[in-house]
Amino acid sequence: MGLGDAIPAVIVFMIPIVAIIGGITAGIVKNLGQQRLQELAQRERMMAIERGIPPDKLPPLQIHQETGLTFNQSQMRRSQGLMIGGLICVAVGAGMIGFFNVIPDARDKNIWAAGLIPVFVGFALLISAWVIRPKKMD
């Protein structure tokens, strides 16, 4: 095995590593940016209070910086997204189970059990959607 054969193998393993590191880095940068925006909003609010503006006249501080939604609306949107993803995963898993049961050779080998993975992932997403759903809507 020469150097020419080793390069594609290294590239194949580098793609997921770079994707994972890039995703983690993007998440950290996004969180730092949101924290900075929240800090600036708090400073602006404190300066307005120092200048004599009553706090009840100021807009609420709990506004999601990217979407402009309140905290409950943002949580509701996230919950709906998880619910949609969960329903899709359950449907895909059920379809896989049904498909693998129709194939004559696969029925004897219990390949249908591979459909249980997306079904359980879907149920986990549905449970997480229920957990983060705001309990009291304003």
Number of domain units in the chain? 2
Task: Mean pLDDT check: name the lowest of 1-10, 41-50, 61-70, 102-111.
Answer: 61-70
Identify the band that residue 108 occupies on the pLDDT scale cut at 50, 70 and 90: confident
Range of the domain at 115: 62-138
Q: Assess whether 99 and 125 both reside in one domain.
A: yes
Q: Assess whether 115 and 93 both reside in one domain.
A: yes
Q: Assess whether 29 and 68 both reside in one domain.
A: no
Burial of 79: CB neighbours in 10 Å, binned 0-12, 13-18, 19+: middle
Determine the pLDDT at residue 105. 77
Q: Assess whether 125 and 57 both reside in one domain.
A: no
Last residue of a domain, one of 9, 32, 61: 61
**Half-sphere exposure (Cβ direction) of 64: Cα atoms closer than 13 Å:** 14
Determine the pLDDT at residue 119. 94
Q: Assess whether 53 and 83 both reside in one domain.
A: no
Q: Assess whether 57 and 72 both reside in one domain.
A: no
Q: Is 63 helix (H, G, I), strand (E, B) or coil?
A: strand
Interval 9-19: pLDDT, tens: 777 778 888 88
12: phi then psi, degrees, rounded to nearest 5: -60, -40
70: β partners? 63
Q: Assess whether 42 and 99 both reside in one domain.
A: no
Q: Assess whether 82 and 56 both reside in one domain.
A: no
Interval 48-91: pLDDT, tens: 889 888 878 877 766 555 555 556 677 788 888 889 999 999 99
Percentage of the chain beyond pLDDT 70 is 82
Q: Assess whether 36 and 3 both reside in one domain.
A: yes
Q: Assess whether 129 and 73 both reside in one domain.
A: yes
Residue-averaged pLDDT of the chain:
81
Residue 105 burial (CB count, 10 A): 8
- Listed in sequence order, the residues at least 6 apart from 20 whose beta carbon sits closer than 8 Å to its beta carbon are none
Q: Assess whether 40 and 81 both reside in one domain.
A: no
Last residue of a domain, one of 20, 39, 61: 61
Q: Assess whether 69 and 116 both reside in one domain.
A: yes
Residue 12 burial (CB count, 10 A): 9
Asked if residue 101 lies in contact with residue 107, where contact means CB atoms within 8 angstroms, the answer is: yes
